[in-house]
């Protein structure tokens, strides 16, 4: 369906500042991809509002013209959720960066969606508080995007994901109506539409104000770094620690590929280069509690085959140990500018089995796969590295990614833990849910957006996108387009 873009642009310019409407193609190119990098689509028009009222006016204009819209924050997403795949207005919230309210007595902070994740902790750390959800991209990702994807981070094992720390949301619905879900209290008697909105990936509207829960900074924090000669041993250490009832604030594993990648990136030797895996364990709380838990964790790591265990109590030492994990994707990017990441989830007890299968798939396709993951909650982040320009390489890489997700489902896991479904995994969501389940989800979406104009064709499979993808993968798997065994990446 053709849309009247000149009329829409003219209306938008009537109430938005000149630089808040972007229509030149060379300027729109900056929005053609997200952190996933494989798929690229240039939006026809973009706007950068600064207030809730501007967002409401924008969506009212879209409503009058019958034009779809897509919300975008910092663009660091990894599932294609912020991409404009079809003709739609891109609403970029990156200029909505104000802290609207700070209520330390009640441990809350209210921010606009463009506020960067790490800024929240920076704003309150001097008063002894912090914001717990910490995605690896926390220095660049926005709170609005975190809400859309229900992001997690290294501390989600103990403290939970974004939905556990959002108390209230002001949002603009697809028809331009301003509404709110939740508030400053932890519990309300109303239907939990706040929880429904979080993780909806922009399909229900646009969050314009978000009230977050703040936590008191722990009395003490200790980080342990254990290295192992096998990934199985590292996984066994995770199993033993959780089985013993210890709940670290975070447990992260990196494989040998990533160990060397991050050491090379920073010209450091923080992680033993010959280790098959390193396990980072962070424990926080009261001093005596942390000391006891750390001793127990060290003993359990040794029982599982840890060669060396390094303990960091000083803040700078802790930051050095975490630096490599937080920069894992950047380290891989230096080695392979093109990579594709998934985020399947598996039960902790199945980690060794699934990681072995991922290694087998990597050999089968002769495509390197580096592994870094939230070991405590089984959230895998396999990074599939590839060289651009090889025949059908992007289709093959996506096929490999889909097979990894199938392995996650086979052991009772999920196709996504924190990156969302977006466009990248919409063809796989039918593997997890029945037709009735999906229809119920669509009814919820319809209640907010009857005309399906908010982030169209995301999350749910469509005959066009998923039908073609299925046929393409079938052909590749039969070897009619290429022989995977002959692909050379490096």
End-to-end C-alpha distance for the chain, whole angstroms: 44
pLDDT tens track for 380-389? 999 999 998 8
For 5-92, CATH gives: 3.30.43.10
Q: Where are the domains of the chain?
A: 5-92, 99-216, 220-331, 336-486
**Average pLDDT of the chain?**
92
Pick the CATH number of 220-331 from 3.40.50.970, 3.30.70.20, 3.30.70.2190, 3.30.70.100: 3.30.70.2190
pLDDT tens track for 254-281? 999 999 999 998 887 889 999 999 999 9
> What average pLDDT does the segment 328-348 reach?
92
Q: How confident is the model at residue 473 (pLDDT cuts 50, 70, 90)?
A: very low
Q: Is the pLDDT of residue 339 over 60?
A: yes
What pLDDT score does 238 carry?
94
More confident residue, 271 or 484: 271
pLDDT tens track for 61-109? 999 999 999 999 999 999 999 999 999 999 999 999 999 999 999 999 9
Pick the CATH number of 99-216 from 3.40.50.300, 3.30.465.10, 3.40.640.10, 3.60.15.10: 3.30.465.10
Identical fold between 99-216 and 336-486: no
Whole-angstrom distance, CA of residue 463 vs CA of residue 468: 8
> Which candidate, 247, 231, 348, places its Cα nearest to that of 294?
247
Question: What phi, psi does 369 have (nearest 5°)?
Answer: -130, 120
More confident residue, 185 or 28: 28
Percentage of the chain modeled with pLDDT above 70: 95
The fold of 336-486 is Alpha-Beta Plaits (3.30.70)
Q: How confident is the model at residue 246 (pLDDT cuts 50, 70, 90)?
A: very high
Q: What is the 3-state secondary structure (H, E, C) of the chain?
A: CCCCHHHHHHHHHHHCCHHHEECCHHHHHHHCCCCCCCCCCCCCEEECCCCHHHHHHHHHHHHHHCCCEEEECCCCCCCCCCCCCCCCEEEECCCCCCEEEEEHHHCEEEECCCCEHHHHHHHHHHHCEECCCCCCCCCCCEHHHHHHHCCCCCCHHHHCCHHHCEEEEEEECCCCCEEEEECCCCCCCCCCHHHHHCCCCCCCCEEEEEEEECEECCCEEEEEEEEECCHHHHHHHHHHHHHCCCCCCEEEEEEHHHHHHHHHHHCCCCCCCCCCEEEEEEEEECHHHHHHHHHHHHHHHHHCCCCEEEEECCHHHHHHHHHHHHCHHHHHHHHCCCEEECCCECCHHHHHHHHHHHHHHHHHHCCCEEEEEEHHHCEEEEEEECCCCCCCHHHHHHHHHHHHHHHHHHCCCECCCCCCCCCCCHHHHHHCCCHHHHHHHHHHHHHHCCCCCECCCCCCCCHHHHHHHHHHHHHHHCCCCCCHHHCCCC
pLDDT tens track for 159-202? 999 999 999 999 999 999 999 999 999 888 889 999 999 999 99
Question: What phi, psi does 307 have (nearest 5°)?
Answer: -80, -50
Q: Is the pLDDT of residue 471 over 50?
A: no
> What average pLDDT does the segment 392-406 reach?
96
């Amino acid at each position: 369906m053709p849309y009247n873009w000149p009329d829409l642009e003219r209306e938008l310019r009537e109430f938005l500042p000149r630089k808040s409407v972007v229509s030149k193609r060379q300027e729109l190119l900056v929005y053609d991809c997200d952190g996933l990098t494989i798929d690229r689509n240039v939006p026809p028009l973009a706007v950068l509002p600064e207030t809730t009222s501007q967002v409401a006016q924008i969506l009212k204009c879209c409503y009058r013209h019958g034009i779809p819209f897509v919300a975008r924050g910092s663009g660091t997403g990894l599932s294609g959720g912020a991409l404009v795949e079809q003709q739609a207005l891109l609403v970029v919230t990156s200029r909505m960066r104000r802290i609207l309210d700070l209520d330390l007595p009640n441990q809350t902070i209210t921010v606009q969606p463009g506020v960067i994740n790490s800024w929240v902790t920076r704003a309150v750390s001097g008063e002894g508080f912090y914001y717990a959800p910490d995605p690896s991209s926390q220095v660049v990702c926005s709170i609005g995007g975190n809400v859309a994807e229900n992001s997690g981070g290294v501390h989600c094992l103990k403290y939970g994901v974004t939905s556990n720390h959002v108390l209230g949301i002001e949002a603009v619905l697809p028809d331009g109506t301003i509404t709110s879900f939740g508030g400053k209290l932890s519990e309300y008697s109303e239907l939990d539409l706040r929880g429904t909105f979080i993780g909806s990936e922009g399909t229900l509207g646009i969050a314009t104000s978000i009230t977050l829960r703040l936590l008191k900074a722990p009395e003490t924090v200790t980080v342990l770094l254990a290295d192992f000669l096998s990934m199985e041993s590292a996984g066994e250490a995770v199993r033993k620690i959780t089985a013993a009832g210890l709940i670290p604030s975070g447990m992260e594993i990196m494989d040998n590929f990533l160990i060397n990648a991050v050491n090379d990136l920073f010209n450091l030797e923080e992680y033993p280069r010959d280790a098959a895996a390193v396990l980072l364990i962070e424990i926080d709380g009261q001093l005596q509690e942390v000391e006891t838990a750390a001793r127990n964790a060290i003993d359990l790591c040794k029982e599982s085959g840890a060669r060396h265990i390094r303990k960091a109590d000083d803040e700078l030492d802790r930051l050095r140990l975490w630096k490599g994990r937080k920069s894992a994707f950047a380290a891989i990017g230096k080695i392979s500018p093109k990579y594709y990441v998934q985020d399947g989830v598996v039960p902790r007890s199945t980690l060794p089995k699934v990681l072995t299968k991922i290694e087998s798939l990597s050999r089968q396709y002769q495509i390197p796969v580096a592994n870094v993951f939230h070991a405590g909650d089984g959230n895998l982040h396999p990074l599939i590295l590839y060289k651009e320009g090889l025949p059908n390489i992007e289709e093959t890489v996506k096929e490999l990614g889909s097979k990894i997700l199938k392995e996650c489902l086979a052991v009772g896991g999920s196709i996504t833990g924190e990156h969302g479904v977006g466009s990248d995994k919409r063809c796989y969501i039918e593997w997890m849910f029945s037709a009735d389940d999906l229809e119920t989800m669509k009814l919820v979406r319809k209640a907010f957006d009857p005309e399906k104009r908010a982030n169209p064709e995301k999350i749910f499979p469509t005959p066009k996108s998923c039908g073609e993808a299925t046929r393409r993968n079938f052909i590749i798997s039969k070897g009619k387009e290429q022989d995977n065994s002959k692909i050379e990446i490096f």
